[in-house]
Structure 1
Amino acid sequence: MSNKNESTSDKNTGEKKPRERSLNFIETIIEEDNKSGKHDGRVHTRFPPEPNGYLHIGHAKSICLNFGLAKKYNGKCNLRFDDTNPTKENEEYVRSIQEDVRWLGFDWEDRLFYASDYFEQLYEWAIKLIQDGKAYVDELTAEQTREYRGTLTEPGKNSPYRDRSVEENLELFEKMKNGEFPDGSRTLRAKIDMSSPNLNMRDPVMYRIMHAHHHRTGDTWCIYPMYDFTHGQSDSIEKITHSICTLEFENHRPLYDWYVENLGIFHPQQIEFARLNLSHTITSKRKLLDLVTEKFVDGWNDPRMPTISGLRRRGYTPASIRNFCDRIGVARFNSTIEMSWLEEAVREDLNRTALRVMGVINPLKVTITNYPEGQEEWRDAINNPEDKEAGTRKIPFSGELYIERDDFMEDAPKKFFRLKPGGEVRLRYGYFIKCEEVIKDDKGVVQELRCTYDPETAGGKAPDGRKVKGTIHWVSAKHSLPITVRLYDHLFTKEDPSEVEEGQDWRSNINPHSLTVLENCQVEPSLKDAEPDQPYQFERTGYFCLDSKDSLPEHPVFNRTVSLRDTWAKVQKKSK
């Protein structure tokens, strides 16, 4: 992980504030543009998702980058939906994307746009390219188009329809628009260079026929522009200055430039950066959709998913994701970031913001035999030692408690400082207790511990000065709230889920133990009023939040956001 001295936290927002870091390469480009007077010092970016799925952690990096640059340079950032493929897009995805961007803390103000807003203008520009002899209607099948395209080492071949007259192309393109041809029978292609070393420049398709209902334009159109013909011109219409894309679009930049230059319109600058690849997960929308439709997960917002809605449901905070994106920086070369970086970012934020509570995941009953029968008391407990303003709360103490089963060991080794027969331990915010008797069932499983307490040790210290090394958490059995707890692990067993044996696919690396459900866990009664967006630290256990989907007042369900330590790293270290 990065050195903690690299940044400081804003007390109010939790945002990590970098200390005099050097400019990344995109900031360098922008500052050089501003110095030269290019765009009159304007900085205008955009985040242009396709509404064909839920946003994931990779999109979060792009969101933070585009909106962050606009904020840094007093510019603007648009939210634009690239909705040019009606068979895969719908309003559910549109709504979820807007919700995710807002939740991350960004605001597009009045600049919400859709590529479909520009369908008429794009059509007019296509006609202009036809009139200029730079586009033609093609009748090659998809298979023939691939055959004519050539390879990386062999040039392509001109389509037999490439030299049609302008008049014939205009007539055919209008018939395409009017719905006179079936799907796949015609395309409009740019006339560039079939021998170009860049395959994207070999007469790329601009329009295809698709008789499909569009979520915004309905059945008005039956021809739809391709992404490459849409996004540069959309950038131009919106006067975007810096069009920031991921590296897979680097080879598309010459085509981006060709379209805007040949149309003679405002020319934004496309800049590519490395996409975010995270270990032990996938960010392919197609594969994420497979996980959902094949029921490997419980929907797009399953807490194991790398989607923003999944991370939110799991308990990640907007600040933790923004801090993570800032920490990993912006690079020109693809690499894979360890999941532990994201987990450490949320640990740091939750350590600052999460309320401390006591919860017992695997309860073991403790009866304090010398505690006055029927008595109860309310002990003061600190809500968050990192935030004095969080104050304190009262927690109940009684003669019957639950402790964590792992906090007792019958045949304990020498350095086991928790509870054991004849041993003494400190109860957090309570007293010293000593194990006097172990009660087992007929199978030898421990069912109950009978202990005594020292009433003089309230507050954690003994008047006689004796030392107790172990401190454990607990809840009062009489007052505790039963809950269901979900413990999450990596969704995939391998850092790179695509690394498979011959004959297998990425599904073979799905972790069968990515979810563990524990029933009848016990927590202190203050959690009866828990809200989904309020993070909690179950002391000595991890960070948790109320599940926003399945939790009910009569049956609370808590998700573990992250453990207190990186246990996966320990497992990997042992396996080496």
Structure 2
Amino acid sequence: MEEDKKSLNFIEQIIEEDLANGFPQNKLRFRFPPEPNGYLHIGHTKAICINFGMGEKYGAPVNLRFDDTNPEKEEQEFVDSIKADIDWLGFKYDQELYASDYFDQLYNWAVQMINDGKAYVDEQPSAIITEQRKTPFEDGVESPFRNRPVEESLELFYKMKNGEFEEGAMSLRAKIDMTSPNMNMRDPVMYRILKRAHHRTGEQWKIYPMYDWAHGESDYIEQISHSLCSLEFENHRPLYDWYLDQVYDKELVRNKQREFARMNVSYMITSKRKLQRLVAENAVTGWDDPRMPTISGMRRLGFTPTSIKNFIDRVGVAKRENLIDIQLLEFFVREDLNKIATRVMAVVDPVKLVITNYPEHEEELLETENNPEQENAGMREIPFSRELYIEREDFKEEGNKKFFRLKLGGEVRLKSAYIIKAESVDKDENGEITTIYATYDEKSKSGSGTEESLRKVKGTLHWVSAKHAIPVEVRIYDRLFTTPQPDAEKDVDFLQFINPESLKTVKGFAEPSLKEAEIGHHYQFQRIGYFTKDRDSSTEKLVFNRTVTLKDGYKPE
């Protein structure tokens, strides 16, 4: 039993202790509460997996609640993208809810707090309020409006709600403790005036609740048992609890906030403000650019839900933040794609190969496996003919003993086809090879069972039939930044670390089966890497994104 307890992460230990102390398991409820002001990124996947993971482990419902309290930055586009990302990851939420669902209740509770002497309307500008809070090492300065009569605050708050004052003219503040060493407790603002249309409530509201006020109370309204959030909210927990104290009914579940470390991955940034800059300044093509750390970007690049969830599981739930090597994420992507990706042949830097002793007008269909890692993946046929394309790097006129690909006078096997021997080349006026001429051993056909077919040669090359090849645009993606922590230094603009080689576009050829490729389907371009068909594809142009290289020397500990 003790060993089982040690295998639990600290959040599971908290829940287990609550259950052991009498908390009813049927009262467990979790939530994932994104603000719809941008697209979800790799950091959010940890919060998603933790909250939905707890729901799955304990058979408890999980709400998707949008914390939509800032109409300046929130849009329906972001709501839709967040829902699509969660669906793609394979998680099912119990209810789709919004903090804006509770605006009336939050307002009424705020009125109650004014009546109880726990809140007041402050007519000072926000800059003065901030200055009066001072530092954790000195007492704050009380607002001159802190002790104004309850009736005055009630009247002003009502007029704020009705839009009778300009933005910034006043705010509602909680009356807590201006001497607290926790700056969040120094009379925090609960409401500010914002005369902006809301994506759900329209023009109804002229005041909007601050995140700290709306968040915990929304958890309470929904009867969330455990509010699990990232570590930057740890020093907000006393305020979360203080607000809860003002409305708590002992007959109901009292929600508790607990924090886990955020996930930072090398060569990625997770600041929404900085991600917005990347988009706004055209460093990327949009929120779903395959170089972006957004879930939609990773999906478009070809990452799989399984690989991301396996990565989060390996990273684990910690109390301290650290930098996770991006190679660990790529390891799990590669591991999953190896199991599910269809094997195909494509050539991204083609040079023509002519088999001079193969009948000029003959062609044949050769069988090859769709995926040797899958038991029932089946076989498909690929066309073979006299003229082929191979990778330019797979040929040298002269190669040393360690060069096992094609060279003049040397032999290799064409995958699923024949053994060939290079005989001569043609070159253009610049000395670049335009055509390789070879001969083939007609009895060496793979799988034919002849003695020649069993003959061993050291190199095997992929290829496509020139007559049947379809042109493809191949996008070779690399890391967006040149340094593992592009935003580590506050005084240095992270944009200066943009990798100019993060995207290379090349023209190649692929086997004809890729005409039927579906957007988002995963392929292994044999001997090259893992690819997925991009949404930019059309009937005239097929576009494939490289997800990860075929192999990597990285081994997780």
Q: TM-score range by the shorter chain?
A: over 0.9
Report the counterpart of residue 10 of structure 1 in structure 2.
none
In 1: Cα distance, 2:213 partner to 2:188 partner: 9
What's the CA shift for 1:326? 1.1
2:526 maps to 1:516: no
The aligned residue for residue 175 of structure 1 is: 159
Match of residue 543 from structure 2: 557
Alignment of 1:31-46 (within 5 A): 31-39=16-24, 41-46=26-31
Tell me if structure 2 keeps the 8 A contact 1:261–1:267. Answer: no
Instruction: State the partner residue of 1:68.
Output: 53
Matching residue within 315, 326, 331 for 1:339:
326
Give the aligned partner of residue 423 of structure 1: 410
- Of 139-148 and 214-223, more deviation after overlay is shown by 139-148
| CA deviation map 1:381-419 (0-9, x unaligned) | 000000120010000110000001110112312210100
What is the percent sequence identity of the aligned residues? 59
Assess if the C-alpha contact under 8 Å between 1:34 and 1:41 holds in 2. Answer: no
1:219 corresponds to which residue? 203
Q: Aligned residues, how many?
A: 547
The one-letter code of the counterpart of 1:47 is F
Query: Which residues of 2 match residues 377-388 of structure 1 at below 5 A?
Result: 377-388=364-375
2:342 aligned residue: 355
Distance 1:261 1:177 in 2: 24
1:186 to 158, 161, 170: 170
SS of the residue 1:390 aligns to: coil
Counterparts of 1:20 and 1:407 in 2: how far apart (Å)?
55
Does residue 247 (structure 1) correspond to residue 247 (structure 2)? The answer is no
Deviations along 1:250-280, whole A, 9 cap, x unmatched? 0000000000112224420101001111100
Letter in 2 for 1:70: G
Q: Indicate the residue corresponding to 1:316 in structure 2.
A: 303
> TM-score, structure 1 length as denominator?
0.93
Taking structure 1 as reference, are residues 442 and 324 closer, same or farther at Cα in structure 2, changes over 3 Å only?
same
TM-aligned CA distance change 1:384 to 1:129, over 3 Å: same
Q: CA deviation at 1:139?
A: 1.1
RMSD over equivalenced CA pairs, Å: 1.6
Q: Aligned equivalents of 2:382 and 2:5: distance in 1?
A: 45
SS in 1 for 2:48: helix
CA deviation after TM superposition for structure 1 residue 466, in Å: 5.0
In structure 1, C-alpha distance between the alignment counterparts of 2:537 and 2:34, rounded to whole Å: 31
Within-5 A mapping of 1:14-413: 22-39=7-24, 41-109=26-94, 111-265=95-249, 266-413=253-400
Label 1:114 to 1:197 Cα distance change in 2 as closer, same or farther (>3 A): same
- 2:396 counterpart SS class: coil
Cα pair 1:33 1:41 within 8 Å, conserved = no
AA at the equivalent of 1:474: W
The C-alpha deviation readout for 1:365-385, integer Å capped at 9, x for no partner, is 000000011000100000000
Alpha-carbon deviation of 1:566?
2.9
How many angstroms does 1:467 deviate by?
Answer: 3.3
Deviation at 1:41? 4.8
Moved more, 199-208 or 457-466: 457-466
Amino acid at match of 1:506: F
Q: Which runs of 5+ in 1 are unaligned?
A: 1-18, 571-576
Q: Aligned partners of 2:148 and 2:52: how far apart in 1?
A: 45
Distance in 1 (alpha carbons) for counterparts of 2:32 and 2:273: 20
Q: Is the 8 A contact 2:40 2:82 kept in 1?
A: yes
Q: Quick check: 2:444–2:455 contact (8 Å CA) kept in 1?
A: no
From the superposition, tell whether residues 546 and 194 of structure 1 become closer, same or farther in structure 2 (CA, over 3 Å): same
- The TM-score normalised by the length of structure 2 is 0.96
Aligned-pair CA distance for 1:153 = 1.5
Alpha-carbon distance between aligned partners in 2 of 1:393 and 1:153, rounded to the nearest angstrom: 72
Contact 1:484 1:555 in 2 (8 A): yes
SS of aligned partner of 1:552:
coil
1:388 match: secondary structure: coil
The gaps in structure 2 that reach 5 residues or longer are none
What is residue 486 of structure 2 aligned with on the other side?
497
SS of 2:443's partner is helix
Cα deviation, 1:481-510, whole Å, max 9, x if unaligned, reads 11000000001110000245x964101111
Once residues 21 and 558 of structure 1 are traced to their aligned partners in structure 2, the CA distance between those partners, rounded to angstroms, is 45
One-letter amino acid of the counterpart of residue 545, structure 2: N
Separation of aligned partners in 2, 1:104 and 1:503: 36
Shift of 1:20: 11
Match of 1:528 in 2: 515
Aligned 8 A contact 1:39 1:241 in 2 = no
2-structure distance, mates of 1:275, 1:417 = 46
* 1:13 match: none
What is the distance in 2 between the residues matched to 1:42 and 1:542?
48
- 2:205 partner amino acid: W
Q: Distance in 1 between matches of 2:27 and 2:105?
A: 25
Q: Which residue of 2 aligns with 1:4?
A: none
- What amino acid is aligned across from residue 284 of structure 1 in structure 2? S
- Find the aligned partners of 1:80 and 1:21 in 2 and give their Cα distance: 32
Letter in 1 for 2:329: L
1:546-576 deviations in Å (ceiling 9; x for gaps): 002x111210000011111237x79xxxxxx
Distance 1:20 1:164, change over 3 A: closer
| Cα deviations by residue, 1:348-375 (Å, 9 ceiling, x for unpaired) | 1111110000110100100000001100
